């Protein structure tokens, strides 16, 4: 039930943010005097609507977005009524059209930044000092978290009754104990503990030295057997190794909260990291298409493959089901930031495509004037329709691919 609630809440949050995106277009267009005839949440058949002034507001039956109809977005539009010729969008100065067309993305950025600041103050943001790489984790002190069992295969899954119990738990170790020695050899960090375990034989009895609440002690544990790749090559061949049934508890907290003033700096830093991460993720999209197809056709789903709103909503459901509300919020923030950036790409029919054309027209007119030539006028959008259709086709296929992968082989962050 909690999972379903999380899915619904996340989908609703995205629908609201997309509706606010369109409200950004609406508000700025009206502020400049452009004529806006429709503002609807959803697509398809109209469920409910009302008219205020010259604009019809309403709700449609398919809750997959929304739209705002601004009269005369291009010179080729035929939706201009007599007397409204001076209010068509394409006749307004380029800076005003830029403001209107970018207002949707600005709304997404504003939502992400405000949510980030609130998260920094009340929930916390990921700690930049938290170990995120394998080497950073191995350099941490060997403070452990006990597993319930040892999974014999090299997979991440929940324990079953057939799995052997964690040797560390059987040996009366506890969460937060710091391992200091293994069979008499000193252990300075988690990496040395892993190395010592790989050198031991499955089924052997090991003497474990540890510190608990400042007090040193020892215990003996019979090591279990599991399958793992070499420590220096995670993609190498899997072999049988000894296991203690522990994980690492990092010495630094995963999340850090900030005061109201310090939160501005943390928000700016996190936003910068999101910008870099979004750029890198968008560069990798073409090379991830084969991985998506492999996931659909029965292969393992790569955690780094793109997800759709369906996949994001499923992750939101997992977050709520596991009481990980900070993950829910960070997913919402990241998705809003990505949508904001994506919409500014200079491709039709995206907002960025309209902005690019507006500035192309302005620069071209300036250059023609500098050379004493007549203004060539506006771009003919009809000539760009083949390119627009190609973008829509590619985007549609990619969306269908990600949705299918998210349905048949979704990414999961928690063991079930």
Residue-wise pLDDT for 85-104, tens only, equals 899 999 999 999 999 999 99
- Return the structure tokens found at 257: 């909260």
Given a cut of 60, is residue 259 above it in pLDDT? yes
Q: Which residue from 213, 228, 412, 203 is spatially nearest to 327, judged by alpha carbons?
A: 412
H/E run at residue 74:
none
Helices marked H in 200-302: 262-296
Query: So what's the pLDDT on residue 225?
Result: 93
pTM: predicted TM-score of the whole model, two decimal places: 0.79
How confident is the model at residue 132, as a pLDDT? 66
Q: What does the pLDDT average to over 21-50?
A: 94
Question: pLDDT: is 250 or 103 the higher one?
Answer: 103
More confident residue, 79 or 311: 311
Which residues is 255 bridged to in the sheet?
A: 126
- Among 37-41, 42-46, 288-292, the least confident range: 288-292
Query: Is residue 85 among the annotated active site residues?
Result: no
Instruction: Report which secondary-structure segment, H or E, holds 333.
Output: helix 325-343
Percent of the chain with pLDDT over 90: 60
**Which domains does the chain show, CATH number per domain?**
2-35+71-122+327-408 (no CATH), 134-248 (2.30.42.10)
Nearest to 264 by CA among 119, 373, 374: 119
Write the DSSP string, 367-406.
HHHHTTPPP--S--GGGGHHHHHHHHHHHHHHHHHHHHHH
Contacts of 335 (CB under 8 A, 6+ apart): 14, 309, 312
The structure tokens listed for 291 are: 């991985």
Decide which of 39 and 412 is more confident. 39
Q: What is the rounded average pLDDT for all residues in the chain?
A: 90
Which sign, positive or negative, has the C-alpha torsion 168, 173, 177, 182?
Answer: negative
What is the mean pLDDT of the segment spanning 387-416? 86
CA–CA distances in Å: residue 79 to residues 23, 75, 379: 21, 10, 18
Averaged pLDDT, 231-237 = 81
> Catalytic residue among 22, 153, 294, 318, which?
22
Top-confidence residue, 330 or 235? 330
For 74, counting Cβ atoms within 10 Å of its Cβ (0-12 exposed, 13-18 middle, 19+ buried), the class is: middle
Listed in sequence order, the DSSP H helices in 297-324 are 309-321
Q: Residue range 54-69: average pLDDT?
A: 90
Q: Is the pLDDT of residue 212 over 80?
A: yes
Residue 26: Cβ-neighbour burial (10 angstroms; 0-12, 13-18, 19+) = buried
pLDDT in tens, 173-193: 999 999 999 999 999 999 999
Query: In what helix (H) or strand (E) does residue 364 lie, and over which residues does it extend?
Result: helix 351-370
The distance from CA 205 to its chain's CA centroid, rounded to whole angstroms, is 44
> Residue 179: what pLDDT?
94
At 199, which helix (H) or strand (E)?
helix 190-199
| Token pair in block for residue 122 | 């009340």
**Per-residue pLDDT band at 213 (split at 50, 70, 90):** very high
Position 69 pLDDT exceeds 90? yes
Question: Is the pLDDT score of 165 beyond 70?
Answer: yes
CB count within 10 Å of CB 351 equals: 24
Give the residue-averaged pLDDT of 133-154. Answer: 86
Band (416; pLDDT cuts 50, 70, 90) = very low
CB 106 within 8 A of CB 340: yes
Q: Map tokens 């031991």 to a residue.
A: 200
Q: What angle do CA 401, 332, 7 make, to 5 degrees?
A: 65
Q: Which of 36-40, 104-108, 124-128 has the lowest mean pLDDT?
A: 124-128
Peptide bond into 269 cis (omega under 30): no
Q: Mean pLDDT, to the nearest integer, of 394-403?
A: 90
Quick check: 358 pLDDT over 90? yes
Residue 222 has pLDDT above 60, yes or no: yes
> Biggest alpha carbon distance in the chain?
91
Residue 49, φ and ψ in degrees, nearest 5: -160, 160
The CA distance from 319 to 171, in Å, is: 33
Q: What confidence score (pLDDT) does residue 79 get? A: 80
Residue 1's pLDDT is 80
| Partner residues linked to 224 by β-bridges | 243
DSSP 136-175: HHHTS--BEEE-SB--SSSS-----TTSPBPHHHHTT--T
């Amino acid at each position: 039930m909690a999972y379903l609630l999380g899915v619904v809440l996340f989908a609703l949050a995205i629908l609201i943010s997309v509706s606010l995106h369109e409200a950004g277009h609406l508000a700025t267009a009206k502020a400049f005097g452009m004529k806006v005839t429709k503002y609807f949440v959803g697509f398809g058949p109209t469920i409910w609507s009302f008219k205020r002034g010259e604009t019809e507001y309403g709700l449609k039956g398919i809750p997959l977005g929304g739209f705002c109809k601004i009269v005369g977005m291009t010179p080729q539009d035929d939706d201009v009524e007599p007397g409204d010729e001076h209010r068509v969008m394409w006749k307004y100065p380029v800076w005003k059209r830029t403001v209107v067309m970018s207002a949707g993305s600005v709304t997404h950025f504003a939502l992400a930044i405000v949510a980030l600041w609130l998260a920094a103050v009340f929930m916390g943001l990921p700690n930049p000092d938290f170990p995120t790489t394998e080497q950073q984790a191995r350099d941490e002190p060997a403070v452990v978290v006990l597993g319930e069992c040892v999974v014999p295969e090299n997979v991440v899954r929940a324990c079953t009754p057939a799995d052997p119990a964690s040797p560390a738990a059987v040996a009366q170790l506890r969460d937060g104990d710091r391992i200091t020695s293994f069979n008499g050899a000193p252990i300075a960090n988690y990496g040395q503990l892993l190395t010592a375990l790989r050198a031991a034989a499955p089924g052997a009895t090991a003497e474990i030295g540890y510190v608990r609440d400042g007090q040193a002690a020892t215990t003996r544990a019979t090591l279990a057997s599991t399958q793992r790749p070499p420590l220096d090559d995670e993609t190498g061949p899997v072999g049988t190794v000894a296991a203690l049934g522990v994980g690492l508890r990092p010495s630094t907290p995963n999340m850090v909260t900030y005061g109201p003033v310090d939160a501005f700096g943390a928000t700016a830093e996190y936003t910068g990291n999101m910008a870099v991460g979004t750029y890198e993720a968008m560069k990798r999209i073409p090379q991830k298409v084969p991985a998506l197809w492999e996931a659909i056709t029965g292969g393992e789903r790569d955690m780094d493959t793109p997800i759709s709103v369906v996949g994001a909503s499923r992750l939101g459901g997992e977050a709520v089901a596991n009481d990980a509300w900070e993950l829910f919020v960070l997913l919402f923030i990241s998705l809003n930031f990505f949508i904001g950036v994506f919409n500014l790409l200079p491709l039709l029919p995206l907002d960025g495509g309209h902005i690019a054309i507006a500035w192309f027209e302005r620069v071209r007119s300036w250059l023609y004037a500098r050379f004493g030539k007549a203004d060539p006028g506006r771009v003919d959008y009809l000539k760009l329709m083949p390119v627009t259709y190609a973008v829509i086709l590619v985007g549609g296929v990619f969306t269908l691919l990600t949705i299918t992968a998210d349905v048949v082989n979704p990414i999961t962050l928690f063991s079930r």
